[in-house]
Amino acid sequence: IMSLIYAMSDIHGYFKPLEDNLRLIDLSDIENKLVFCGDYMDYGKESCQVLYKIKALTEQYPQQVVVLMGNHEYMFLEFLFLKNTDLQVIEWLTTDKEFHTINSFISSDTKAEVASQLNRHRADNYFSAYEKCVPIIKKDILNNHNELVEWLKNLPYYYETANQIFVHAGIDEEA
């Protein structure tokens, strides 16, 4: 019997499709592997739930499940660790349509505080309103999801087998 390597990417915060696809994967055979190739978050409403599910799979099947860094995870980490005034921080926050990603991470108290800040300051200056929300959001995420964030920070960018290289978004073949 030949072992299988399953690969999955671009889940983008959609938990049900992730669950549906996982039902098709056989990890009961310890020779089989599952390689997640990035972009588990952003767009859908369950980014946080998706990340916790994938992290749990790495804990349940440490020799079989590989999780790679995607550009959306990278941008999320930039949001969390760059200075609050860096343009990338505000840009990432403003592209989070209806705060689907942020809302999957933050508490209801923080959601109410962010909504209040945006309502109070948006008319004055769009970027200034978002800038006021950044520290509130970062604090909530880092306080409530620190272990998850540390796990994300340590994701590799590629995974190699004897015959394959798995990455999120391409490699320089000449290199």
Mean pLDDT in residue range 120-144: 86
Q: Kindly report, residue by residue over 11-33, the tens digit of the pLDDT.
A: 999 999 999 999 999 999 999 99
Q: Give φ, ψ of 5 to 5 degrees.
A: -115, 115
Distance CA 49, CA 173 (A): 35
* Residue 132 pLDDT greater than 70, yes or no: yes
Which residues lie below 8 Å from residue 18, measured CB to CB, with a gap of 6+?
Answer: 8, 11, 50, 53, 54
Task: Give the pLDDT band (50/70/90) at residue 175.
Answer: low
Residue 93 sits at φ, ψ, to 5 deg, of: -65, -40
CA distances from 150 to 55, 103, 104, 126, 147 (A): 11, 20, 18, 31, 5
* 74-117 tens-digit pLDDT: 999 999 999 988 888 888 888 888 899 999 999 999 999 999 98
**Per-residue pLDDT tens over the stretch 25-66:** 999 999 999 999 999 999 999 999 999 999 999 999 999 999
The four Cα atoms 35, 23, 75, 169 give a dihedral, to 10 degrees, of 40
Q: What percent of the chain has pLDDT over 70?
A: 97
Which amino acid would we find at residue 108? S
pLDDT of residue 2: 77
Name the more confident of 171 and 47. 47
pLDDT greater than 70 at residue 123:
no
Q: Please report the pLDDT score of residue 128 as a whole number.
A: 78
Calculate the average pLDDT of the chain.
92
